[in-house]
Structure 1
Amino acid sequence: MAGQFDGRGVIVTGAGSGIGRAAAVAFAAQGARVLAADIDAKGADDVVREIEGAGGVALAVVGDLGEQSVVDEVVRTAVDGFGRVDVLVNNAGIMDRMSALADVTDAEWERVLRVNLTAPFLLTRAVLPHMLAAGGGAIVNTASEAGLRGSAAGAAYTASKHGVVGLTKSLAVMYRKQGVRANAIAPGGTATGIVVDADQAAHGPAALGPHFVNLGRIARPEEQAAAILFLASDAASDINGVVLPVDDGWSAV
């Protein structure tokens, strides 16, 4: 495989399914060596086999990225295996139960924030020294429509994705002189395996009502992956701190 990412080392989290899997496969098809990180061992192994079966190079690390030890293993495995980390895609995420703030339990809040916001923070912090030593790199985070508005999810998920947007913009400003770019996509409705376990009679889903409607069509994971690859590519060399909606215009309504 050869292409615009030929020889580059790429870490993709949540690579076992959905957007992450599509991104991992697409990077490999463009010549990247891919580290697929996921909490689901089968999903991570499957995407590695798919990439290797097509002639690419891939490694898998399985674990909860909210744990520092797993983050350390991801970065160590990528550096040892590829010699470099050029691109980090913080994609792994989970939904909340669409709970309104007064109904959010400590467990729901802590789990959603840990996976959706703390994990990208930990992994980015671990990768940055390698990118800085190499003179640059690209970070692409998966935010959400819920990071742009207050009517697309529950309190925990909405707060976590607003946090991802803030983290992205802070990174862009703080490290632009060192050659590190940070951008994010904000997907609208996308055909992935994420299931929303919500009590439709609870205050949160009832209050969202007609506002919680994907006003565009449902995207394919490959369409989100295409946006991720663009933002990580040399074609986006002067794009930094952008949160790109990939939502068929939902954010424009």
Structure 2
Amino acid sequence: MSKPDRFTGKVAFITGAISGIGRAAAIAFAAEGARVAILDRTSNALKETEEAVKVAGGDVLAIACDVSSPEQVEAAVKQVVKRFGRLDIAFNNAGVENKAAPLHEIELGEWDRILGINLRGTFVYMKHEITQMVHQGDGVVVNTSSGAGIRGVAGGAAYAASKHAIIGMTKSAALNYAKQNIRVNAVLPGNIETPMMDRFTGGDVQKAIDLKPVGRLGKPEEIAEAVLWMSSDLGGFVTGSSIVVDGGWSL
């Protein structure tokens, strides 16, 4: 059974925090005692999340960070450590969807954009987060993959490729750092009530609902709860895992 203060004294670092799953996770960590760093491309976009985290009782640091700039990512991690003294939990949630198209119609620029943000961005964040965790002697990393990381998606080759690769990177990193008390896992959301889902479906979310055996979209808070469990002491024997939270879509 979880405790309302299970993250007291912990520092959580959350990317892609302006809305949806990232915002829900930031609020949930704060409500359970964590100090929270929230990141996205612009500080203005983070204001609503920042206020929501404060309402939840959290000490929050909002950082504008462009994932395409390794220098900005490194500086962001250092800023968090300077402010809070350490980095206990990293939730690498930043990502984008592709423009739906069959593979032969995908422009190279679009392919590079998706892989650059979803895969390279996750790698760059992990590189600097884990550097700090190795230094301090422990930590937890949770990466956002997707149900598309374990199945094909018509029209979504670039997105699926990036999310499959995140799982491979997660498993490999878990093996690298298991003996250093650093756990690395992935959460695989299905179709969730987020702005990304609205964009991907063109506002027609019913077609996404129709894919779900449970007959509804997931809620960001349901994904956040899975992330919190993986980050908590109750998830302490879990590393290298890809935990699917998709309402049966991938079955």
Q: TM-score, normalised by structure 2?
A: 0.90
Q: Name the structure 1 match of 2:51.
A: 49
Q: TM-score, normalised by structure 1?
A: 0.90
Q: Unpaired segments of 5 or more residues in structure 2?
A: none
Q: Which of 213, 230, 235 is matched with 2:211 structurally?
A: 213
The whole-number CA distance in structure 2 between the counterparts of 1:196 and 1:159 is 17
- Specify the SS of the correspondent of 2:195: coil
Q: Name the structure 2 match of 1:68.
A: 70
Percent sequence identity over aligned pairs: 40
**What is the RMSD of the two structures over their aligned residues, measured on CA atoms?**
1.9
Q: Name the structure 1 match of 2:200.
A: 196
- Specify the SS of the correspondent of 1:5: coil
Q: Name the structure 2 match of 1:94.
A: 96
Q: Name the structure 1 match of 2:224.
A: 225
Give the letter for the 1:249 counterpart. G
Summarize the alignment of residues 1-253 of structure 1 with structure 2, pairs less than 5 Å apart.
3-151=5-153, 154-194=156-196, 195-196=199-200, 213-216=211-214, 217-252=216-251
CA displacement 1:58-102 (0-9 Å, x = unmatched): 011113212112202220111011100000000011000122221
**1:40 Cα deviation from its structure 2 partner:** 4.1
- Distance change (3 Å), C-alpha of 1:247 and 1:152: farther
- Specify the SS of the correspondent of 1:196: helix
The whole-number CA distance in structure 1 between the counterparts of 2:101 and 2:154 is 11
Query: After TM superposition, what 4+ stretches of structure 1 lie above 4 angstroms from structure 2?
Result: none
Give the letter for the 2:86 counterpart. R
CA displacement 1:202-247 (0-9 Å, x = unmatched): xxxxxxx99x934442011000000010011110000011101101
Q: Number of residue pairs matched? A: 240
- Specify the SS of the correspondent of 1:251: coil
CA displacement 1:124-154 (0-9 Å, x = unmatched): 1011121112211100011001100013651
The whole-number CA distance in structure 2 between the counterparts of 1:152 and 1:250 is 14
- Specify the SS of the correspondent of 2:173: helix
The whole-number CA distance in structure 1 between the counterparts of 2:190 and 2:222 is 11
Q: Is the 8 A contact 2:19 2:195 kept in 1?
A: yes
- Distance change (3 Å), C-alpha of 1:157 and 1:31: same
The whole-number CA distance in structure 2 between the counterparts of 1:121 and 1:100 is 26
CA displacement 1:37-76 (0-9 Å, x = unmatched): 0124333122112222333100111132121122022201
- Specify the SS of the correspondent of 1:239: coil
Give the letter for the 1:56 counterpart. G
Give the letter for the 1:227 counterpart. A
